[in-house]
């Protein structure tokens, strides 16, 4: 089991609930897309999984451990096994792309190698290879404040690819990319996760991307799971209800209307129980 959340509740300032009675789990190697309107709790859920937030109530297990029962050292070790792709990567503006990518291993390298790499890149070839997968090899020594939003997102993805984590969490990882680059980037993340049996969980604004790249779709609304289904079981009615407070049309990557997948003659869809 990669993670298991049971009756988890999370509140922010003034006790406003963000996640309520949320129960969700995923096994090793699963790919799960989290969709829902703005404010549904998608980012908060990923932060819980990334051990960045501690729940107010409920039980949480990440990679076989109860994170909030660990020592500070054990918690750092657990976090080093989780790769997080941010919508807006927290990369120092003057840092060069090569250094930003190599930062993915800082949590597992010995301290002397991590410190030395900040002065001179310890694995230039490795960083170049990961950037090359995302068509950014020519920006290896570019300062990050000179990159576009989409390029910076791809540097953040390359950092996680270089990290080789046991679980990949991605929060709107391709929101600043055009459709071609978005597909390329998600494809590389899926390829990496599949090759190493890493669990891959992503929150996505574009429903069509979720349906295309993920075999399991979780709909989140008002901090609760309202459905947990394979793409062939997703209907217009489910999506319309999920996004009713935000829009009448489910958001997609481009101007084309959403084309829901059709169920082939040999496909068998099994509905997971609601949380």
pLDDT in tens, 92-103: 999 999 999 999
Burial of 175 (0-12, 13-18, 19+ CB in 10 A): middle
**Does the pLDDT of residue 117 top 80, yes or no?**
no
What is the DSSP secondary-structure string of the chain? --EEEEEEEEE-GGG-EEEEEEEEEE-TT-EEEEE-STTSSHHHHHHHHTTSS--SEEEEEETTB-GGGS-HHHHHHHHTTEEEE-SS----TTSBHHHHHHGGGTTTS-HHHHHHHHHS-S-HHHHHHHHHHTT-GGGTT-BGGGS-HHHHHHHHHHHHHHH--SEEEEESTTTTS-HHHHHHHHHHHHHHHHHHT-EEEEE-S-HHHHHHH-SEEEEEETTEEEEEE-GGG--HHHHHHHTTTT-SS---SSSSPP-PPPPPTT----PPPP-
> Rounded to two decimals, what is the model's pTM?
0.91
Q: List the single range of 27-31, 41-45, 117-121, 192-196 with lowest mean pLDDT.
A: 117-121
Contact 193, 199 (CB under 8 A): yes
Cα–Cα distance, 242 to 221 (Å, whole number): 6
Domains of the chain: 1-81+167-179+195-275 (3.40.50.300), 89-164 (no CATH)
Q: List the single range of 9-13, 133-137, 181-185 with lowest mean pLDDT.
A: 9-13
With tokens 């976090």, the residue in question is 79
Query: For residues 102 and 246, which has the higher predicted lDDT (pLDDT)?
Result: 102
Please state the rounded mean pLDDT for residues 172-193.
97
Q: Give the model's confidence band at 269: pLDDT under 50 very low, under 70 low, under 90 confident, else very high.
A: very low
Cα–Cα distance, 256 to 25 (Å, whole number): 33
pLDDT for 263 equals: 57
- Percentage, residues of the chain above pLDDT 90: 80
Please state the rounded mean pLDDT for residues 155-183.
97
Backbone CA torsion sign across 129, 134, 138, 144: negative
pLDDT for 272 equals: 40
Cα–Cα distance, 29 to 193 (Å, whole number): 7
Structure tokens at 206: 């574009």
Cα–Cα distance, 134 to 148 (Å, whole number): 14
Please state the rounded mean pLDDT for residues 250-256.
81
Cα–Cα distance, 2 to 68 (Å, whole number): 16
Residues 136-139: contacts with CB under 8 Å, at least 24 apart: 136/97, 139/97
Closest CA to 173 of 86, 252, 50, 83: 86
**Does the pLDDT of residue 16 top 90, yes or no?**
no
């Amino acid at each position: 089991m990669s993670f298991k959340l049971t009756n988890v509740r999370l509140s922010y300032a003034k006790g406003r609930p963000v996640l309520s009675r949320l129960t969700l789990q995923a096994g090793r190697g699963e790919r799960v897309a989290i969709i829902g309107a703005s404010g549904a709790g998608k980012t908060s859920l990923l932060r819980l999984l990334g051990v960045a937030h501690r729940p107010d109530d409920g039980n949480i297990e990440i990679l076989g451990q109860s994170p909030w029962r660990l020592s500070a050292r054990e918690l750092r070790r657990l976090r080093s096994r989780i790769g997080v792709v941010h919508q807006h990567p927290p990369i120092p503006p003057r840092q060069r792309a090569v250094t930003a990518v190599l930062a993915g291993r800082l949590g597992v390298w010995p301290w002397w190698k991590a410190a030395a790499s900040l002065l001179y890149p310890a694995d230039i070839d490795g960083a170049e290879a990961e950037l090359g997968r995302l068509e950014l090899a020519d920006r290896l020594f570019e300062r990050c404040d000179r990159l576009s939003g989409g390029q910076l997102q791809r540097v953040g993805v390359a950092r996680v690819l270089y990290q080789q984590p046991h679980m990949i969490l991605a929060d709107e990882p391709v929101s600043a990319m055009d459709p071609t680059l978005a597909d390329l980037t998600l494809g590389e993340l899926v390829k990496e996760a599949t090759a190493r049996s890493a669990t891959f969980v992503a929150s996505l604004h574009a429903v069509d991307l979720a349906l295309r790249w993920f075999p399991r779709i979780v709909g989140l609304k008002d901090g609760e799971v309202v459905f947990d289904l394979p793409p062939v079981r997703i209907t217009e009615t489910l999506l319309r209800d999920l996004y009713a407070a935000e829009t009448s049309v489910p958001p997609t990557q481009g101007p084309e209307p959403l084309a829901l997948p059709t169920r082939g003659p040999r496909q068998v869809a099994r509905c997971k129980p609601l949380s």
